[in-house]
Amino acid sequence: MTRVIYREDNPNSHLANTQRITPVTVIETPPIILYGIRAYKMTPYGMKILKDVKTNSPSRFFKRRIRYPEVEDLDDQIDELRDVIAEAVEIRAIIHTQPDLTGIASKTPETFEIKIGGASNDAIVDWAVDRLGQELQIEDFTKPGQFIDVIGITKGYGFSGTVKRHGHTKLPRKTKDGTRRVGSIGPWVPARLRWSIPRYGQYGYFRRTEYNKRVMKVGVEGSEVTPSGGFVKYGLVKNRYVLLKGSVPGPKKRMIVLREGMRAGDKAVRQPNLSFVSQRSQR
């Protein structure tokens, strides 16, 4: 994280048109590669795969790290997809990341599906075919001022007790069998443990979604935000980046998924007016 100075552009704020300092999260966003198209059909048992189209030329690290079979001619695959596209109820892009472009140790790409929206199935297929095997940049997805959702895995703390995990009050000093525990875990009748009783167990390493994170800046040169000596426990930002107002779940070097804000509603998109981005050394 770092901090920026910007001019408050919310006309309803009592600090409107004043300079404000706010913390921001720097997320490095190397390009992703769209290497496949997947169409789904609806069956009595739910959605099933209707047809896959995959390019034979993903990135070199993808073929090196992940088992990737030889596929048939790409034009034949596209023609077969167009023949059955009327049956499709959903079309998704199959993409993979490129962690080798960053400074983190991992070289194994992550692969997942992203639903493609559009007016018709034909228009969606045309859009995906034009970009098959190509890189998608962060500016293709969002722009400054928009509100997006952040999906990540929180920091894990392992096996924890009830005080740390649920935050209940400790028992008095002379309590038998310990103080960092629950006094009663339920009545005799009904003779079962209710879900609302605090219990020990896994704490952290949960999948969490944070809504409506404002995009403060979408940049091309990582040197614009990298502090002197690099970010602690991360290093240098070598690719495009995005500045999000506030924090995001999870530790450094963990993958973050960004999506269009589901609860953004009619929030006005105003271009943030940044006057300063801190590059002070963190060491």
19 lies in some domain = yes
78 lies in some domain = yes
Q: Residue 71: its pLDDT value, please?
A: 77
Q: Residue 65: its pLDDT value, please?
A: 79
Q: Tell me which residues of the chain have a pLDDT lower than 50.
A: none
| Model pLDDT for residues 164-201, shown as the tens digit of each residue | 999 999 999 999 889 999 989 999 999 999 999 999 99
Q: Residue 178: its pLDDT value, please?
A: 92
Q: Residue 70: its pLDDT value, please?
A: 77
DSSP the chain: -EEEEEE---TTSTTTTSEEEEEEEEEE-PPEEEEEEEEEEEETTEEEEEEEEE-S---HHHHHHS-------HHHHHHHHHHHGGG-SEEEEEEE--GGGSSSS--PPPEEEEE---SSHHHHHHHHHHTTT-EE-GGGT--TT-EEEEEEEPPEEEEE-HHHHH-PPPPPTT-TT-SSS-S----SSS-S--TTS---EEEE--EEEEEEEEEEEEES-GGGTPPTT-BTTTB---S-EEEEES--SS-TT---EEEE-TT-TT------EEEEE------
Same domain, 145 and 256: yes
Q: Residue 69: its pLDDT value, please?
A: 74
Q: Which residues form the domain of 67?
A: 32-136
- 81, 104, 136 - which closes a domain: 136
Same domain, 105 and 237: no
Same domain, 177 and 215: no
Q: Residue 67: its pLDDT value, please?
A: 78
- 102, 136, 170 - which closes a domain: 136
Q: Residue 58: its pLDDT value, please?
A: 74
Q: Residue 282: its pLDDT value, please?
A: 87
